[in-house]
């Protein structure tokens, strides 16, 4: 491959990673770009999970062998079987060497290969019908992060030293792309995370609830919302100080997360101040009410707290048509107000009360939302 073609390949790899939305797309773009750049038939990207002592395969692309998957659930290998990443990067590189790529062949050590012949890699090549591979360490933030692996089938030209040198360049580009992806994901995480509790924040609820209602309109998915108000926070702040109030909020956030785990895929969030919610898509309404009941029970046991007022609204209950996120939130919020007014020890559920109940009357009202309101959920907590 000429220098111009290799430059084009490097640019294409970098652009592919930059255009990715999330880690999985970035990993795949890295492997695909490296595979094309090196003229391989297969490529993989692996990460070194230090705490587990293993190389975990993140993505496989190209001609997959039997048992290989594009995004494997748990394809991993003990690092002692492929020890170059630990021995070379921690001993030779730390001593002033360079994290160069190297070549393996199904016939044994390749010319110019570093000391430390790896029988496991050779055996893997033979087992999967591949003739050679080039392995490039990926270094991120000054530490070994993982490796880039590109292979060719039996009968194809064996990778040369120049290919290994080029793979070293590609690995550096991949490392830069991974670092950028991590920064973007951290920014997204912070944008949708409550700093104090680590739960989702109001912005995340807005987005997920809109999507949930769209699913409900499209295919009838059950959408349930639990809105809760932590009782006694002002008293704790006034009596014990805001640090104690923050600890109470954190503890309740942990309880909310625990109870939310009873509902597969539920989103636990802090709306702001002492107000929290659980959003569940799919589980039956009764299961959501049960989780809300457990939340009330556990909240009542928190030190310094005074329990929680909890309201539930579910599209599976008789609350009338729910065409917007705003309407479901209003119903759950009204139920929560009722629970707070009555100091109820259990959740109040919209649509399940008697005919004189104000929550029931609200549920029977025709929806007055405008098209704009249906497009964007802005409950009473919105700025």
For each of the chain's 383 residues, which pLDDT tens digit applies?
567 889 999 999 999 999 998 899 999 999 999 999 999 999 999 998 887 778 899 999 999 998 899 999 889 988 767 656 655 554 444 444 556 888 989 887 654 445 445 677 888 899 999 999 999 999 888 778 899 999 999 999 999 999 999 999 999 999 999 999 988 888 877 888 898 998 999 999 999 999 999 999 999 999 999 999 999 898 998 899 999 999 999 999 999 999 999 999 899 999 999 999 999 999 999 999 999 999 999 999 998 889 999 999 999 999 999 999 999 999 999 999 999 999 999 999 999 864 334 444 443 344 444 343 333 344 444 43
CB atoms within 10 A of CB 2: 7
Name the pairing type of β-strands 308-314 and 348-349: parallel
Torsion angle of alpha carbons 178, 181, 182, 185, nearest 10°?
-160
Cβ atoms of residues 199 and 270 within 8 Å:
yes
At residue 63, the pLDDT reads 96
SS3 readout for 168-229: HHHHHHHHHHHHHHHHHHHHHHHHCECCCCCCECHHHHHHHHHHHHHHHHHHCCCEEEEEEE
Burial of 274 (0-12, 13-18, 19+ CB in 10 A): buried
**C-alpha Rg value of the chain to the nearest Å:** 28
In 3D space, the residue among 282, 333, 343 whose CA is nearest the CA of residue 311 turns out to be 333
pLDDT at 34: 97
- What is the pLDDT, as a whole number, of residue 2? 65
Q: How far apart are CA 160 and CA 158, in angstroms?
A: 6
Give the span between the Cα atoms of 247 and 251, in whole angstroms.
6
Residue 248 CA to residue 133 CA, distance in Å, equals 55
Q: How far apart are CA 50 and CA 52, in angstroms?
A: 5
Q: Report pLDDT for 83.
A: 59
Q: So what's the pLDDT on residue 30?
A: 97
């Amino acid at each position: 491959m000429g220098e111009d073609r290799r430059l084009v390949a490097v640019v294409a790899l970098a652009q592919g990673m930059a255009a990715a939305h999330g880690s999985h797309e970035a990993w795949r773009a890295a492997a695909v770009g490296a595979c094309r750049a090196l003229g391989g038939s297969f490529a993989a990207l692996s990460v070194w999970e230090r705490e587990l002592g293993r190389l975990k395969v993140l993505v496989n692309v190209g001609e997959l062998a039997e048992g290989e998957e594009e995004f494997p659930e748990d394809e991993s290998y003990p690092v002692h079987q492929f020890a170059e990443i630990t021995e070379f990067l921690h001993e030779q590189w730390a001593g002033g060497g360079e994290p160069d790529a190297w070549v393996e062949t199904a016939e044994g050590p390749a010319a110019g290969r570093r000391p430390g012949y790896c029988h496991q890699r050779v055996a893997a090549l033979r087992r999967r019908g591949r003739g050679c591979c080039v392995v490039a360490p990926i270094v991120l933030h000054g530490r070994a992060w993982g490796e880039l692996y590109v292979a060719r089938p039996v009968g194809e030209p064996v990778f040369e030293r120049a290919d290994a040198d080029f793979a070293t360049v590609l690995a550096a580009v991949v490392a830069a792309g991974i670092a950028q992806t991590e920064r973007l994901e951290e920014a997204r995480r912070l944008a949708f995370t409550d700093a104090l509790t680590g739960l989702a924040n109001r912005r995340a609820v807005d987005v997920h609830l809109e999507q949930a209602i769209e699913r409900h309109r499209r295919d009838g998915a059950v959408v349930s919302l639990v809105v809760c108000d932590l009782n006694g926070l002002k008293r704790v702040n006034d009596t014990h100080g805001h640090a104690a109030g923050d600890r109470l909020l954190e503890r309740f956030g942990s309880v909310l997360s625990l109870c939310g785990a009873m509902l597969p895929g539920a989103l636990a969030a802090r709306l702001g101040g002492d107000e929290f919610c659980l959003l569940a898509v799919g589980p039956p309404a009764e299961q959501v009410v049960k989780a809300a009941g457990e939340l009330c029970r556990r909240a009542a046991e928190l030190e310094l707290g005074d329990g929680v007022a909890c309201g539930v609204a579910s599209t599976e209950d008789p609350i009338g048509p729910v065409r917007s996120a705003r309407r479901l939130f209003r119903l759950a919020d009204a139920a929560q107000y009722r629970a707070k007014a009555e100091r109820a020890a259990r959740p109040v559920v919209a649509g399940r009360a008697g005919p004189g109940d104000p929550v029931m009357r609200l549920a029977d009202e025709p929806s007055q939302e405008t098209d704009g309101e249906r497009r964007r959920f802005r409950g009473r907590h919105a700025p």
